[in-house]
Amino acid sequence: MVNQTRQIYFMAKYIFVTGGVTSSLGKGIIAASLAKLLQARGFKVTIQKFDPYINIDPGTLNPYEHGECFVTEDGAETDLDLGHYERFLNIFTSQSNNVTTGRIYQTVINKERAGAFLGKTVQVVPHITDEIKRRMQLLGKSGEYDIVITELGGTVGDIESLPFIEAVRQLQWELPDEDVVVVHLTLVPFLKAAKELKTKPTQHSVKMLSETGVHPDVIVCRTEEPLSNDIKRKIALFCNVKQEAVIEALDASTIYEVPLMMLREKLDLFCLKKLNIKEFNEPKLDKWKVFLDKLKYPKAKVTIGLIGKYIELQDAYKSILESFIHAGAMNEVKVQVINIHSEFITDDNVAEKLEGLDGLLVAPGFGSRGIEGKIIAVKYAREQGLPFFGICLGMQMAVIEFARNVLNLKDAHSTEMDTNTSNPVIDLMEEQKKIKMMGGTMRLGSYPCEIKENTLAHTIYNKTLISERHRHRYEFNNDYLEAYEKAGMIASGKNPETGLVEIVELPNHPFFIGVQYHPELKSTVEEPAPLFVHFIAAAKKYNETKSALISSLLQRSEE
């Protein structure tokens, strides 16, 4: 029998993931792993993240504050967890998948200014919570998904999380019981001195959540040590859930192991049972398992230098680091990434700083701090034949280095760092010149790029038309293009409509490529970014040649 109400109002079922005790427990990874399992069982799944901060989006946040800003196809600047969702699920997310308190308030305030509340006092409950609920169900009502997973940012007990928790409470009440699951992630710490796992923080956190009216159906316990049956029973008893709803989430050697761990713990099966879904397939995870095998048992190692200015914080380059993991597995090598602070690279120490590397990646970034160090590092890679890969700002640095040291334009620069340079080889895009507001106004999202045949870019992509995601204001200044190409740096990729240079490369170098876009944003477990795959292959070759040279030198000295 078709349930009319369900058809009209509730197109999808909802899983909410909340977090307790502390931040950084890996809520995003648990949500993505559950989504992966449901997808592998044949469901159409998407994940969204609701962030309680007041910024409209993380686009204006310093990476030290918030880690990387992930950009979606439609140009939304979003939380880095969306990157995990895309990498795990091999799907595209969009602006609708990431909502902040700021965005909720902006909508409500705009409505108030438009007079849409008809003289009513506008309040957190019901107006803000109604807007949260509307957005929580937006993707679910699109008819595209069977299951929508919503990750709530922050930790239960935070003041700013309250309206989101209240929205979940109301939805739990409004929607049929079998349409909602609440998964709560907590920590079960191991006290070394007592040699014991402690359940009290979990009990407190569930109690705090229950006081807001939301009762979790499943408790996922992050732990360093396996949970015994006794511990599970204790958590179940005191937190008022079935024992099978207490899920162990042991620390994993890689985040990509987590879906299989959750499968063993039957997290997906418990959720399906609560959602009253009785028909599903055995999970198809063959590709995932092949990837994991290659990741865990590499045949060789390459060392890549990542030159950036936010290297103290790993989250600042999240997608780049994950892309290396995907590309490493594809090449069956372990990619060891050495973080090198660009601020401390000088002409005198560059050889020493980059010693032992098999490849160099100059990272994206903004502002002038650490710029000269990046340029020195590019020069070293260009002259030494070291595989080089520049992303966004990294590509711009390669362009500046070439101008200064090959074209002999000594003061060449980007107008981002020096507005008075007489050789602005990197300049502000025309449409950027009139922009005053900084939020959401960069060249953002997916743009096409036409690739020249018989180039490195063509070998890498094996296509003449690609599409990649952008996040920048400055670009290659085409007034200089002829001089560059005559001197040996070619533009192998351009935007077909505007002629903006998107890829530069040096044909007379073993592997030297810079891209204005961010290929790391589209790398997934199932489809690693081709640029990363080829860069790692070039680094592997460089390493093999280096090793062969060393052993032949050793052999000669022994003779």
- Residues that bind ligand GLN in the complex, under the rule CB under 6 A: 364-366, 392-393, 416, 471-474
Q: Which residues contact 236 (CB under 8 A, 6 or more apart)?
A: 242, 243, 245, 246
Q: Are residues 426 and 396 in contact, defined by beta-carbon separation less than 8 angstroms? A: yes
Q: Would you say 37 or 399 has its CB closer to ligand GLN?
A: 399
Choice between 238 and 366, CB closer to ligand GLN: 366
Question: Rounded distance, CA 126 to CA 142, Å?
Answer: 24
**Per DSSP, which regions of 298-349 are E strands?**
300-308, 333-341
Question: Which segments of 342-461 are extended strands (E)?
Answer: 359-362, 388-391, 413-414, 424-428, 443-451
Quote the CA–CA distance of 34 and 266 in Å, as a whole number. Answer: 10
Residue 559 CB, nearest approach to ligand GLN (Å): 50
Q: Please confirm, yes or no, whether 520 is among the known catalytic residues.
A: yes
Beta partners for residue 428, in sequence order: 474
Min dist CB 474 to ligand GLN, Å, is 3
Q: Which is nearer to ligand GLN, 92 or 366 (CB)?
A: 366
CB of 64 to ligand GLN, least distance (A): 16
Residue 472 CB, nearest approach to ligand GLN (Å): 3
Rg of the chain taking only CA atoms, in angstroms = 26
Nearer to ligand GLN, 23 or 368 (CB): 368
- Strand spans (E) along 56-123: 70-71, 77-78, 98-100
Among the listed residues 392, 401, 470, 472, the single catalytic one is 392
Single-letter amino acid, residue 431: E
Residue tagged active-site, from 68, 265, 416, 520: 520
**CA-CA distance, 443 to 9, in Å (whole number)?**
37
In the bound complex, what is the minimum distance in angstroms from residue 143's beta carbon to ligand GLN? Answer: 35
Give catalytic status of residue 392 as yes or no: yes
**Token pair 């080089």 is at which residue?**
388
Closest to ligand GLN by CB, 16 vs 474, is 474
Q: Which two tokens stand for residue 424?
A: 């602005």
Q: Which is nearer to ligand GLN, 66 or 473 (CB)?
A: 473
| Burial class (CB within 10 angstroms; exposed 0-12, middle 13-18, buried 19+) of 92 | middle
* Number of CB atoms found within 10 A of residue 40's CB: 22
Q: How far apart are CA 389 and CA 332, in angstroms?
A: 20
- How many CA atoms are closer than 13 Å to the CA of 346, on its beta-carbon side? 3
> 302: which residues sit within 8 A by CB, 6+ positions away?
328, 333, 334, 335, 336, 358, 359, 536, 539, 540, 542, 543
Strand 70-71 vs strand 98-100: parallel, antiparallel, or unpaired? unpaired
476 SS3 class: strand
- Among this protein's residues, is 221 annotated catalytic? no
What's the min distance (Å) between Cβ of 373 and ligand GLN?
A: 15
Minimum CB distance to ligand GLN smaller for 259 or for 364:
364
Min dist CB 470 to ligand GLN, Å, is: 8
Contacts (Cβ under 8 Å, ≥6 apart) of 537: 331
Residue 414 CA to residue 425 CA, distance in Å, equals: 6
Give 76 or 132: the residue with its C-beta nearer to ligand GLN.
Answer: 76
Angle at 414 between CA 410 and CA 417, to 5 degrees: 100
Per annotation, catalytic residue among 84, 127, 509, 518: 518
Residues 6 or more apart in contact with residue 556 via CB below 8 angstroms: none
Residue 394 beta carbon to ligand GLN: minimum distance, rounded to whole angstroms = 7
Residues labelled catalytic: 392, 518, 520
